[in-house]
Amino acid sequence: MSKIELLYEELGQALWLDYIDRNLVTRGGLEELVAEGLRGVTSNPTIFHQAITGGTDYDDAIRDLIQADPAMDAETLYQWLVIRDVQEAADILRPIYDVSGGADGFVSLEVSPHLAYDADGTIAAARHLWQAVDRPNLMIKVPATVPGLPAVETLLGQGINVNVTLLFSLARYEAVADVFRRGVAASPRPGRLASVASFFVSRIDTKVDAVLDEMGGAQARALRGRIGMATAKVVYRRFRDTLAGEAGEGLARLGARPQRPLWASTGTKDPAYGDVRYVEGLMGTHTVTTVPPATLDAFLDHGEPRPSLETAVGRALQDLEILGELGVDLAAITQQLEQEGVKKFAASHDAVLAALDGKRLGAAADYVAGRWAKAQDFLGSQR
C-alpha cells in the first residue's frame, strides 16, 4: 500500500495534487499517480500560467485553435486550453469519482480572479465553465470573499460543485460553512453535491512570521511557524463539532455529505521548516490535503502518515491567545492575505493572457503566411 493510500485508508484524508498541465494529462503521469492513490487535482491561475508559458506543450493546440478561428482572442484561447486539460484530467479521475460515490475524483477550475468581488459575474462565469467542461467530477473554485459567499450559495443551490478557496480565518470559514448548508438545502440533488473549503496554511505563517521577526523576543520567536497550523486545527475542531451537532444531522437528513476542509498552500515557504511540515501536521479524517509536485515527492520519499489534526489542540489555542497578547492583529493579517491572494491570482491570469496573446499573434501570422504561400503556388501553377 502506498503512502497516499495509507493516508486515505487509515487516516481518512484524501490527497490531491495542486498542479495540472498538458504533459501530466497526456503522457501517463496523472494515471500513475491515481494508481498510487491520488484522489483529485486542484488548479489556479498561477498554476496554469506556469503550465502554459513554461514550455512548448501547448503550441500545437494553440496553432490548431487559431487556424480554426484566426480572430480568437486570448481569453477565449485560454479557456479552450484550460477546459481541455480539465476535461482530460476529469476523465482520468472519473473511476475514483464513481467508486467513491461522488466523494472524490474531482478536478478544480477557478473562475476569473477578476470576478472575486462580483457575485453576479462569478455566478455567470461558473455556470459557463460548468456547462463547458460538462463533467460531474468538476469543482468550480470561488474565492471566499464577502461578495463571493452569496455566489457560492447560489451555485450549490443549482447543483454545481464548489471549491471555496482563499480561506485564512476561522470567522470566514464559519461564514462559508453557513452558506454551504443553505446552498445544499436548496439543491435539487443534495446527495450528489460536493464541496470543499480550501484553507491556505503556509501563507499565514509567512505573513505572521514577518511580524514576529520585527517584534523580536522569546515569545515571538516561539510562535514562528505555528500560527498557520494552529488556525487550521481550530477550524478543524469547529468542523468536527458542527458535524456532530444539529447542522451535521440536518445534512444527514438531506442525504448530503459534509463540506470537507481542504488544506492548501502546503508547500513550505521557509527553508528553516521541514518540507513536509504542513502535510504531516494536518492529517485527519474527513479532510483533503492538496500538495504541489515537489511536496508530493517529498512526502512519498520521507513523509510519515500519522493522525495529527486532533493532537496538541490546547497548544494551538494557547499559541493564538499569546499572539493576541503580543498585540498581533491576526484578523487584519488574514484580511490582507485574502486581498493579496486575489491580486496574485489576477496578476497570473493577466500574465498568461499576455503570453497567449503573443503566441496567438505568432500563430495567426504563420497561418496567414502559409495561406499566402499556398495561394502563390496555386497562381504559379495556372500560368
> What would the pLDDT profile of 17-52 be if each residue is shown by its tens digit?
999 999 999 999 999 999 999 999 999 888 888 888
Percent of the chain residues past pLDDT 70, beyond the cut = 94
Q: What is the pLDDT of residue 49?
A: 87
- Mean pLDDT, residues 86-95 taken together: 98
Give the C-alpha separation, 12 to 121, whole Å: 36
Write down the catalytic residue from 141, 207, 233, 359. 141
Mean pLDDT of the chain: 92
- Asked if 19 contacts 293 with a C-beta cutoff of 8 angstroms, the reply is yes
Give the C-alpha separation, 201 to 233, whole Å: 11
Residue type present at position 372: W
Give the C-alpha separation, 9 to 325, whole Å: 41
- The DSSP element (H or E) to which 196 belongs, if any, is strand 195-200
Confidence of residue 170 (pLDDT cuts 50, 70, 90): very high
- Asked if 269 contacts 204 with a C-beta cutoff of 8 angstroms, the reply is no
Strands 106-110 and 138-143: parallel
| Secondary structure E strands in the chain | 13-17, 40-41, 106-110, 138-143, 162-167, 195-200, 260-264, 287-291
364 has a pLDDT exceeding 60: no
Give the C-alpha separation, 11 to 307, whole Å: 6
Dihedral-angle region of residue 105 (phi above 0 means left; psi in -120 to 50 means alpha; beta otherwise): left
5 has a pLDDT exceeding 80: yes
Strands 106-110 and 195-200: unpaired
Supply 372's cell numbers: 499566402
- Mean pLDDT, residues 349-372 taken together: 71
Q: What is the pLDDT of residue 363?
A: 65
Confidence of residue 177 (pLDDT cuts 50, 70, 90): very high
Q: Any idea which of 215-224, 278-287, 362-371 has the lowest mean pLDDT?
A: 362-371
What Cα–Cα distance (Å) separates residue 313 from each residue in 205, 224, 230, 309, 369?
A: 17, 17, 7, 8, 66
Q: What is the pLDDT of residue 362?
A: 67
Give the C-alpha separation, 289 to 292, whole Å: 10
Give the C-alpha separation, 256 to 316, whole Å: 31
What is the span of the domain harbouring residue 77?
A: 3-382
Q: What is the pLDDT of residue 67?
A: 85
Hey, is 310 helix, strand or coil?
Answer: coil
Q: What is the pLDDT of residue 366?
A: 58
Give the C-alpha separation, 115 to 42, whole Å: 19
Closest of 307, 190, 201 to residue 259, by C-alpha: 190
Q: What is the pLDDT of residue 167?
A: 98
Q: What is the pLDDT of residue 368?
A: 46
Tally of domains within the chain: 1
- The string of pLDDT tens digits covering residues 304-320 is 999 999 999 999 999 99
374 has a pLDDT exceeding 80: no
Q: Any idea which of 65-74, 123-132, 154-163 has the lowest mean pLDDT?
A: 65-74
351 has a pLDDT exceeding 60: yes
Handedness of CA 131, 54, 40, 35 (dihedral sign): positive
Q: What is the pLDDT of residue 360?
A: 75
Residue type present at position 122: T
Which one is predicted more confidently, 68 or 362?
68
Confidence of residue 121 (pLDDT cuts 50, 70, 90): very high
Q: What is the pLDDT of residue 272?
A: 87
Confidence of residue 372 (pLDDT cuts 50, 70, 90): very low
Q: Is 269 a catalytic residue?
A: no
Q: Looking at the DSSP assignment, which residues form a beta bridge with residue 143?
A: 165
- The string of pLDDT tens digits covering residues 98-108 is 999 999 999 99
Give the CATH number, domain containing residue 28. Answer: 3.20.20.70
3-state helix, strand, coil in the chain (%, to 5): 65, 10, 25
Q: Which residues contact 343 (CB under 8 A, 6 or more apart)?
A: none
